[in-house]
């Protein structure tokens, strides 16, 4: 905000009786003095853009802009609201339509334009937001008694709004009272000896800055882990401090964002630092409870999310149940049981139980599980070495696990010995960070010595009967199994024999039994689901022999019928090309229709094109490689194969990518075959996307 107030000067008429030379000399001197006087007045009455004094209030339409134009302070109304008005700070260097608010003063007490609000410094050196009726809507709680001290307000290029005295003593600053954002240069207070720790609190909605449901801060029970809460319930644990908590994220070719915890005089702060010095980065807790580390991309004029927690549903608190853990090291997150445990239900997402219960009298041992984010609900033991920590857990029958970290000089107590005395809740496995979790397991049952004859004779007797009977049973079992598979195969061929488009009765279909598919997908567990569409759901599976596959399960409500199903099977059996997805098998079982493909870990092209956090992978060489691969696949379909195929449903979602980002065309349910001399064909319905 710029104020330039010019003084009004009145010059009375004066009669001079002196001679002209004296008058000219004195007139020149008077002009010089008058000019200097006016300049001094102008300096006194001018206000710099980044400062606010007690004599000049801030009104709607005025702006306080930081020295280099990075941030602005002013009144704003959220999108879609013409009534509510707030005082806030936003990035001034970002286009107006992308305005990003980083701090709000009166978030739970909005004002209106009609009430003529002002932001001013009062006689007690408090910063006060009030309306024309004198009602206080918001005010600072100063940490220094500064009555009539000449305090002034300044907006820094870091985004910090500082109320200070002429001697630079800080009375109050917005960085000590964040709303939902952490900025570079801000010291987000985690542990303090005299003050309460800071918290981020989300907005109610994208257009409502009032207090939302989600909050972020340090766990007050343990003082060791960062947590996102939904109300008073834990929504997501960010991490447990092991002395080296931090992250490094490339935000541009010339800039790196560092996220770390620092210790200053036994007071701990969370900070972000940008190597290039650009202030256009932030950590923001949005209205959905997602903690996002973002940086501004001037080329696309948008915010790029370079890290987010939680990462999907698997990042939520206790997503895999007691004694289970979420594995983030694979192509897709999945729930598994800890070593020595088994799933409670059909899969491990409901938790796990011990295969051998712990009993103090029968002994136990510990196994080391590296790369783990340790569970919640731990107890910290002070001043322990690693050996002492292990011994404490070993001699306590209730102890189920322990973990140890050396915090170096980060705290007065350099050790961090954690033990667990119950179920292990909210455990992760990650390739990027983690530590060793020592898990307690029961010793295997001890074999007792007995008379050799008493053992051998019953064993021989028991073995003779099965040896005689086993061949007959095995033959009958295999014969029944073969017959069952033959019946399923005949049923499938009966279904597929009705196609009127291909007319090929002699195609050999690759058949996979329904039982094998159920086993490969753990009974179509949700934790193995890769995606869904109008046709149904796609699951990741593991066939016998360890081969990873993708199983397409057509729903009964799908628009893809027997003709399209057979179409896709026959075409993919006949067509072989490196840019066409490979069909490994198919199955029809009662109302179920299933297709088994090779598994492509990078999924579809649209997952990269329309995801701001992943599209940077598609540099121009990669895009050109994908275009060439798709073109080769289409050329094969149109010219080089022994059948002329028109795909009729080519889109980014049907272009799959392997580990080397090579494209493969998929979904041939809508494809049509043309004869050698055929130029056109008719269709009886709308197809394509």
3-state SS of 91-105 is ECCCCHHHCCEEEEC
Bridge partners of residue 367, in order along the sequence? 439
Mean pLDDT within 128-146: 85
Cα 25 to Cα 31: distance, rounded to the nearest angstrom: 10
Mean pLDDT within 621-648: 87
| C-alpha to C-alpha distances, 19 to 27, 32, 83, 288, nearest whole angstrom | 12, 20, 69, 85
- Per-residue pLDDT at 240: 82
- Per-residue pLDDT at 23: 43
Task: Check pLDDT > 80 for residue 451.
Answer: no
Q: Are strands 324-327 and 427-429 parallel, antiparallel or unpaired?
A: parallel
CB atoms within 10 A of CB 655: 22
Sign of the torsion angle spanned by Cα atoms 337, 338, 340, 344: negative
CB atoms within 10 A of CB 629: 20
Closest CA to 225 of 31, 380, 363: 380
Q: Of 4-8, 241-245, 284-288, 521-525, which range is least confident?
A: 4-8
Mean pLDDT within 425-440: 88
Closest CA to 190 of 293, 260, 117, 96: 260
Helix (H, G, I), strand (E, B) or coil at 431: coil
Q: Of 151-165, 382-396, 425-439, 635-649, which range is least confident?
A: 635-649
Cα 310 to Cα 43: distance, rounded to the nearest angstrom: 53
- Per-residue pLDDT at 47: 43
The Cα diameter of the chain in Å comes to: 148
- Per-residue pLDDT at 27: 53
Helix (H, G, I), strand (E, B) or coil at 656: strand
- Per-residue pLDDT at 172: 93
Residue bearing tokens 């979904």: 667
Cα 291 to Cα 438: distance, rounded to the nearest angstrom: 30
Closest CA to 164 of 175, 155, 174, 152: 152
- Per-residue pLDDT at 136: 94
Task: Check pLDDT > 90 for residue 214.
Answer: yes
Q: Of 89-93, 178-182, 472-476, 637-641, which range is least confident?
A: 472-476
pLDDT tens column, 535-578 = 778 999 988 878 899 998 886 655 555 667 777 777 777 778 89
| C-alpha to C-alpha distances, 235 to 315, 351, 417, 442, 531, nearest whole angstrom | 9, 18, 25, 33, 24
Task: Check pLDDT > 70 for residue 306.
Answer: yes
Assigned fold of 514-674? Transferase(Phosphotransferase); domain 1 (1.10.510)
- Per-residue pLDDT at 277: 61
Cα–chain-centroid distance for residue 70?
A: 27
Q: Which of 49, 297, 649, 658 is catalytic?
A: 649
Bridge partners of residue 284, in order along the sequence? 181, 292
Average pLDDT of the chain to the nearest whole number: 80
CB atoms within 10 A of CB 89: 26
Half-sphere exposure of 457 (CA within 13 A, CB side): 5
Whether 356 contacts 424, CB under 8 Å: no
CB atoms within 10 A of CB 637: 23
> In CATH, what is the architecture of 48-177?
Orthogonal Prism (2.90)
- Per-residue pLDDT at 648: 81
For the record, the structure tokens of 268 come out as: 């701990």
pTM of the complete model beyond 0.75:
no
Cα 526 to Cα 319: distance, rounded to the nearest angstrom: 12
For the chain, what percent of residues have pLDDT higher than 90? 35
Long-range contacts: 525-531, Cβ < 8 Å, 24+? 525/346, 525/347, 525/349, 526/347, 526/349, 527/334, 527/335, 527/347, 527/348, 527/349, 528/334, 530/332, 530/603, 531/603
- Per-residue pLDDT at 33: 52
Helix (H, G, I), strand (E, B) or coil at 479: helix
Binding region: 552
Does the N-terminal peptide bond of residue 310 adopt cis geometry, omega within 30 degrees of 0? yes
- Per-residue pLDDT at 368: 95
pLDDT tens column, 457-495 = 677 767 766 676 666 556 555 555 555 555 555 555 555
Helix (H, G, I), strand (E, B) or coil at 277: coil
Q: How confident is the model at residue 142 (pLDDT cuts 50, 70, 90)?
A: confident
Q: How confident is the model at residue 338 (pLDDT cuts 50, 70, 90)?
A: very high
Task: Check pLDDT > 50 for residue 48.
Answer: no
Cα 142 to Cα 124: distance, rounded to the nearest angstrom: 10
Q: Are strands 170-173 and 181-182 parallel, antiparallel or unpaired?
A: unpaired
Bridge partners of residue 663, in order along the sequence? 657
Cα 27 to Cα 23: distance, rounded to the nearest angstrom: 6
526 catalytic residue (yes or no): no
441 phi/psi in degrees, rounded to 5: -130, 150
DSSP string, 339-360: TTEEESSSSGGG-EEESS---G
Whether 656 contacts 663, CB under 8 Å: yes
For the record, the structure tokens of 443 come out as: 């010793």
Cα 127 to Cα 122: distance, rounded to the nearest angstrom: 7
Burial 656-680 (b: 16+ CB within 10 A, else e): bbbeebbbbbbbbbbbbbeeeeeee
- Per-residue pLDDT at 471: 65
| C-alpha to C-alpha distances, 240 to 132, 148, 219, 244, 405, nearest whole angstrom | 49, 46, 10, 10, 11
Residue bearing tokens 């049509």: 672
- Per-residue pLDDT at 472: 55
Task: Check pLDDT > 70 for residue 626.
Answer: yes
- Those residues with Cβ within 8 angstroms of residue 681's Cβ, 6 or more apart along the chain or in another chain: 672, 674
Binding region for ATP: 552
162 phi/psi in degrees, rounded to 5: -120, 125
Cα 206 to Cα 204: distance, rounded to the nearest angstrom: 7
């Amino acid at each position: 905000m710029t104020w330039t107030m010019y003084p009004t000067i009145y010059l009375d008429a004066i009669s001079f009786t002196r001679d002209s030379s004296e008058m000219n000399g004195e007139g020149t001197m008077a002009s010089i003095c008058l000019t200097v006087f006016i300049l001094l007045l102008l300096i006194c009455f001018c206000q710099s853009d980044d400062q606010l004094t007690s004599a000049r209030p801030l009104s709607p339409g005025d702006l306080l802009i930081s020295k280099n134009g990075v941030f602005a302070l002013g009144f704003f109304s959220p999108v879609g609201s013409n009534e509510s008005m707030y005082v806030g700070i936003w990035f001034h260097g970002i286009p107006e339509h992308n305005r990003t608010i980083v701090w709000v003063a009166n978030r739970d007490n909005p004002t209106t334009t009609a009430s003529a609000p002002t932001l001013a410094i009062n006689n007690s050196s408090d910063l006060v937001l009030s309306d024309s009726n004198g009602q206080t809507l918001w005010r600072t709680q100063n940490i220094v008694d500064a009555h009539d001290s000449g305090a002034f307000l300044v907006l820094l290029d870091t985004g910090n709004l500082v109320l200070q005295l002429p001697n630079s003593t800080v009375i109050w600053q917005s960085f000590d009272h964040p709303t939902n954002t952490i900025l570079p240069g801000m010291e987000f207070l985690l542990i303090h000896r005299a003050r309460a720790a800071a918290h981020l609190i989300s907005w109610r909605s994208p257009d409502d800055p009032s207090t939302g449901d989600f909050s972020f801060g340090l766990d007050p029970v343990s003082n060791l882990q960062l947590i996102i809460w939904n109300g008073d319930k834990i929504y997501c644990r960010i991490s447990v401090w092991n002395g080296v908590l931090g992250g490094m994220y490339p935000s541009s070719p010339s800039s790196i964002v560092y996220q770390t915890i620092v210790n200053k005089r036994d007071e701990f702060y969370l900070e972000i630092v940008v190597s290039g010095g650009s202030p256009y980065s932030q950590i923001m807790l949005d209205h959905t409870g997602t903690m996002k580390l973002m940086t501004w991309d001037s080329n696309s004029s948008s915010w790029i999310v370079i890290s987010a927690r939680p990462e999907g549903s698997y990042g939520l608190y206790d997503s895999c149940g007691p004694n289970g853990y979420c594995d983030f090291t694979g192509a897709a997150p999945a729930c598994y049981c800890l070593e020595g445990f088994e799933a409670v239900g059909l899969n491990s997402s409901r938790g796990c139980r011990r295969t051998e219960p712990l009993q103090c009298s029968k002994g136990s041992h510990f196994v080391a599980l590296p790369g783990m984010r340790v569970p919640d609900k731990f107890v910290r033991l002070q001043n322990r070495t690693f050996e002492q920590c292990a011994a404490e857990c070993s001699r306590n029958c209730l102890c189920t696990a322990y973990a140890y970290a050396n915090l170096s000089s980060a705290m007065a107590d350099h050790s961090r010995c954690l033990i667990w005395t119950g179920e292990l809740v909210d455990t992760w496995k990650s390739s990027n960070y983690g530590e060793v979790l020592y898990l307690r397991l029961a010793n295997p049952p001890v074999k007792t010595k007995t008379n050799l004859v008493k053992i051998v004779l019953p064993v021989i007797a028991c073995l003779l009967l099965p040896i005689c009977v086993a061949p007959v049973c095995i033959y009958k079992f295999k014969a029944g199994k073969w017959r069952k598979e033959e019946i399923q195969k005949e049923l499938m061929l009966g279904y597929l024999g009705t196609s009127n488009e291909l007319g090929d009765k002699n195609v050999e279909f690759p058949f996979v039994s329904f039982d094998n598919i159920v086993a490969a997908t753990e009974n179509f567990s949700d934790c193995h689901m890769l995606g869904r569409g109008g046709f149904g759901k796609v699951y990741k599976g593991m066939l016998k022999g360890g081969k990873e596959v993708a199983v397409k399960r057509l729903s009964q409500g799908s628009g893809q019928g027997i003709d399209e199903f057979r179409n896709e099977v026959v075409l993919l059996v006949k067509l072989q090309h490196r840019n066409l997805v490979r069909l490994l098998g198919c199955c029809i079982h009662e109302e179920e229709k299933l297709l088994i493909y090779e598994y492509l870990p990078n999924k579809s092209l649209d997952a990269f094109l329309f995801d701001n956090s992943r599209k940077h992978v598609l540099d121009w060489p990669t895009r050109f490689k994908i275009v060439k691969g798709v073109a080769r696949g289409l050329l094969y379909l149109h010219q080089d194969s022994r059948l002329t195929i028109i795909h009729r449903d080519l889109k980014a979602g049907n272009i799959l990518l392997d580990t080397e980002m090579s494209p493969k065309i998929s979904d041939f349910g809508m494809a049509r075959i043309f004869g050698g001399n055929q130029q056109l064909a008719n269709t009886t319905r709308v197809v394509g996307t």
